[in-house]
Structure 1
């Protein structure tokens, strides 16, 4: 699947761990940001991957009776997927601008995550998260992958290398809220992901 605004292509599946049945690409989007209050740039393209079988098992009883067109706009389904630790999901980010460096990227994430974490009272996790990026060499085309674990932690890979974990279910929930929440950082991305999740769950009985 190709993200239209940046032309970034994403493979159909992505495995955080080596296995045969890998999570499937649900949708793609792009994150735009106004730089210095003047120029708007596409900071990164993103693809959202989800374990289809786990999602069907978790969500089928509650949501599979509804048609996809209804499920696309069903925030309760998005919340269920967002908070379920037993559904493996990954956000795969590809930096699409040479103007993005580690400092700007971390600052942008902090601006988006801090209000969500302040409401939950877990700002320390944000500091732990930012520490994972220290020393990373940012460049156009750099890939980062964020994956939840069954324990509720968030694992990070930068350029294909393990960068570490944030051991906070509250933080993991806040991170996925950036893409599945009611105020996503990419509205087009949320719509694309919602279509993919809706089609997956509505086909649970097929």
Structure 2
């Protein structure tokens, strides 16, 4: 290795840099703030031109917070652990009530995030079916009401659970197996032992031909007259008319023993807010 050395005398001495005074510092900060404001305005215009709502930062939020939110999802529409985002309304105009996470464990040791989910409901259906009964209760009373959730599960209210896959190695066979176990237990809970044929009709819709890479979307929708519609990546794969099956699937997400308790709480809180509006 060659080492280069220079005589000390050959190195020119530069004059010391002037220390900025208060006026200079203030001017620098003002210029930086102006540049940041211009960037924020640019992002806002971009969001508006794309047709997306522009969230407003809180008065106490720093300026860079508004920069990061300008092209993000609305508050409450992102599952915090995975970052999976959900539209505040689905294609049918149903309102997002809450988001959550489905986890599972391997050998009781390692926890795996399988999919994030969003629960949607038709606001008009909620009001028509439930408002007359629950309008006399306060929002705080409705938040913890088991009867309210029981009515939501049983009434003819159009709802959708949107699943967004976050585990990259999930197979359709694993989905079938998981639904066979979880939905099967709910069918027995609400309908007794003679539910095997109904369960098989449901899981048979998840055929081997469907692939589920990370980011894939499955939608389980209760349509009018308790028709369960199943879609994978926007393609309808089948439907089954069964009040028992619709109730059993929704129970996984907002019932007594949900996959994500905080998601259920958010759903119930938003339902209460709709009924009190």
TM-score, length-scaled by structure 1? 0.91
2:212 to 138, 142, 146: 138
Rounded Cα–Cα distance in structure 2 between residues aligned with 1:139 and 1:125: 28
Partner of 2:168: 98
Equivalent pairs counted in the alignment come to 197
SS at 1:33's partner residue? strand
Rounded Cα–Cα distance in structure 2 between residues aligned with 1:54 and 1:174: 19
Partner of 2:90: 14
Structure 1 stretches (4+) deviating beyond 4 angstroms? none
Shift of residue 67, structure 1, vs aligned partner: 1.9
1:128 aligns with 2:201: yes
Contact 1:29–1:45 (Cα < 8 Å) also in 2: yes
Structure 2 unaligned spans of 5+: 1-76
Partner of 2:140: 69
Structure of larger gyration radius = 2
Structure ranking higher in helix proportion: 2
Partner of 1:179: 253
Rounded Cα–Cα distance in structure 2 between residues aligned with 1:166 and 1:123: 14
Partner of 1:32: 103
Structure 1 unaligned spans of 5+: 17-21
TM-score, length-scaled by structure 2? 0.68
Shift of residue 82, structure 1, vs aligned partner: 1.3
SS at 1:185's partner residue? coil
Shift of residue 110, structure 1, vs aligned partner: 1.7
1:59 aligns with 2:130: yes
Q: RMSD in angstroms over aligned alpha carbons? A: 1.3
